[in-house]
Amino acid sequence: MRTLIFVVTFLCLTPALQARQDSVSDEFDCRLNAARFPAFFTAVDKLQADLLQGVWSVENEQAEQSAFQFHDYGLVDIISTDVTGNLSVESMMWKLQERNGGVELILTDSEFNEQTIHLEATCDGLNATIMDSLDDIELILKPTISAKELDRMQNSLSGEWNSVTFPSDMADILSCNTDERAGITSMQLQFHKDGTYTKTCETPSARLEERGFYEITPDGQYIIFYAGNNPGTPSETYEASVVRVQYLTVGEMVLEQPVHAFGFAGIQHTAVRSIAYMQ
């Protein structure tokens, strides 16, 4: 019950907090001075509100990037980009706990393995110490797009999209190694107004279809697809996938997809990623 009260309270406070942050951004150098939390908020409450603000990014010395999007229903999507530029996403359960006067983030994967990360808010972002290895990383909050821009993206996506370039065509041009499943004859995406989607991929020998719900990340850079038998229910999704939005306008779209994503099976060439769609 307390969790529900917190979520409702935070959702009510978010516009005011954001407006206050915007109004004082020029006056204060430290972002922590811009936030005014209710007196009853604990250290855990404050960090939870912080994590739910948007997408947090981190980059390691090997130039591998990760972006974390925390959801109030207890899942976090971790979008990773490796040194070759290939995308992947993993969904994990998350929770915060107070320990020894500090706050720890507990991440749990699909096999119920736990990872503990000590968090500390700073002027620039969050310091995170991975307790197993004692490695320190810095999380930076990425700029979010406005509600108006998010609505524009949602409206632009709505409808049926057909690919005008196929992975198999591009693979042939680049002399990539493919298997018999790579002879794609059509790829189709349908974004429905209720937040669900349908993906269809046809080959000479099969027709593959995937359904679920989708979300645009708060920075407007990614679309995450949650495949499941009961679209709109996060707890019943069985797989998550991600694409990067390279270009989107009315009737035209270019998506950068992972090499091994739906419709890309068997194409072993990292240059084959961007697919153009038209309505």
Does an H or E element contain 153, and which?
helix 147-157
Two domains, one topology: 42-141 and 147-278: yes
Q: Which fold is adopted by the domain 147-278?
A: Lipocalin (2.40.128)
The Cβ of residue 214 has, within 10 Å, a number of other Cβ atoms equal to 21
Domain ranges within the chain, ordered by starting residue: 42-141, 147-278
The Cβ of residue 50 has, within 10 Å, a number of other Cβ atoms equal to 21
CA 35 from chain centre, in angstroms, equals: 25
In a structure prediction context, what are the per-residue pLDDT tens digits for the chain, which is 279 residues long? 334 334 334 334 444 444 444 433 344 468 777 677 888 889 999 999 999 989 999 877 766 789 999 999 899 999 998 877 778 899 999 999 999 889 999 999 988 999 999 999 888 889 999 888 778 889 999 989 999 999 999 999 999 999 887 655 555 555 555 555 455 667 889 999 989 999 887 766 778 888 888 999 999 999 999 888 765 566 667 788 899 999 999 899 998 877 666 555 554 455 557 788 999
Residue 220's pLDDT is what? 94
Angle between helices 43-51 and 2-24 (to 10 degrees): 70
Does an H or E element contain 214, and which?
strand 207-216
For the domain spanning 42-141, the CATH number is 2.40.128.50
Task: Round to whole Å and give the CA distance between 133 and 237.
Answer: 31
Taking a C-beta distance cutoff of 8 angstroms, is the pair 227, 240 a contact?
yes
pTM for this model (two decimals): 0.76
